[in-house]
Amino acid sequence: MPLNFNFERENRTITVEAKEILEKKIDAAIAKYPTGMKPYHLEEIMSCSKSQVYEFLNNYDIPGAKKLPSLGWRIPRETFLAWWFGEEVVHKTKDKLKKSQVRY
């Protein structure tokens, strides 16, 4: 049982670190981008081409994105950033968690 306790404690520590990293990344991006982001903002954040961004938008892969008549696509900043950076932090946290597990 002590092994499970240590793992759980380690897991909580990693979760706290992930949350702090996520908050810092989102706060930095919020200062840089408008509330209603446009596709070219996503190109910059995602480091991908214009056609890839529109493919994601047209396939409804970007959470909260809406195509408004006569305005085009608008993406809510906080929703997108939480999703985008959340995916990144989740993957890094899972990798860190795998590395920290004891193997016999």
2, 10 in Cβ contact below 8 A? no
Q: Which domains are present in the chain?
A: 2-97 (1.10.10)
Residue 102 sits at φ, ψ, to 5 deg, of -80, 135
Q: Is the pTM of this model over 0.85?
A: no
Tens of pLDDT along the chain (104 residues) come to 233 333 455 555 555 676 777 888 888 999 999 999 999 999 999 999 999 999 999 999 999 999 999 999 999 999 999 888 887 666 665 665 566 554 54
